[in-house]
Copies of this chain bind each other. A is one copy, B any other.
Amino acid sequence: MRKPGSNGAETLRNLRTAAIQLLAEHGYGAMNLRMLAKKVGIQASSLYNYIDSKQQLLFLLCEETTENLLVEFDQTVKAADDPRDRMRRFVECHLGFHIVNRKQASVLQMEMRSLTAKNFEAISKIQRLYTDKVRAIVDAGVAVGAFQVEDSEIATFALLQMLTAVTRWYRPQGRLTLEQLVEIYSDLSFGMLHAGRGASESPAIRTSATSAKGARAITSSPVSSVTRRQRRSEPALSADSAEG
């Protein structure tokens, strides 16, 4: 029984976005293949035309996300030279990635422990590469006197986790634009690193500069107020996000 108009490549795309959606919502343990199949619009058994197992599906998605982040980091940060500029770009890249691809990132963050020991280690290996690169920026800044931290390893962890955690509260209808968030988090990051308010391309305490349409004032009104709209996607960053 093949459906009229059925197409393998499209079904695979649907499968991936549905999986990301459901994994983010329910977690690996609570998501079952029948609900995934239903979301894709096929039978559970038909999933096996596209995946080897539930476990391999999770691994595939985790791997993809991790590698995408690494690639974007390299593309974004390579140009800058000064540690301060590199840090600024890192924050922009990391935060942007985790906002635009927040479901994938959330799955990676929460569901990695459901991976087989072997699969887990494979992902961890890539992640260590990434962490090391970030740490190198911190260390370089410390060496030049641009940053000042008591312990660069802890500082790197703290920085990464602070930024990564946007996935936990960010909602696209929120109060602030992506540019505003980058601005705010850059300020927090540089503060953490005791970077002072030096030169470089970072606008630090000033509120505008990145948004093309001109900056709106940043206020402290609660998240629940939905008076301001947020740009939906950031075309510079990776493509198919799994909204739903």
Contact = CB atoms under 8 A, between A and B. Distances in A.
A169 interface: yes
- Most interface-central of A113, A149, A154 (chain B CB within 10 A): A154
A214 B158 CA distance: 25
A183 interface: yes
Contacts of A152: 220
Nearest to A187: B150
Contact of A158 (B26, B188, B223): B188
Nearest to A168: B161
Contact of A194 (B157, B176, B184, B191): B191
A103 to B, nearest CB: 13
Contacts of A72: none
A218 interface: yes
Contacts of A187: 149-150, 194
Contacts of A223: 153
B150 A183 contact: yes
A181 B139 CA distance: 19
Nearest to A161: B165
A207 B191 CA distance: 19
A205 B150 contact: yes
B150 A158 contact: no
Contacts of A184: 150-151, 154-155
A4 interface: no
A75 to B, nearest CB: 26
Interface stretch (A7-15, A27-35, A38-46): A27-35
Which residue among A30, A148, A169, A188 has the maximum number of chain B CB atoms within 10 Å of its CB? A188
Given A29-B27, A150-B205, A218-B150, A185 B158 contact: yes
Contact of A154 (B29, B181, B192, B194): B181
A157 B165 contact: yes
A189 to B, nearest CB: 8
A193 interface: yes
A176 B25 CA distance: 36
Interface of A: 25-30, 110, 113-114, 139, 148-155, 157-158, 161-162, 165, 168-169, 176, 181, 183-185, 187-188, 191-194, 205, 207, 218-220, 222-223
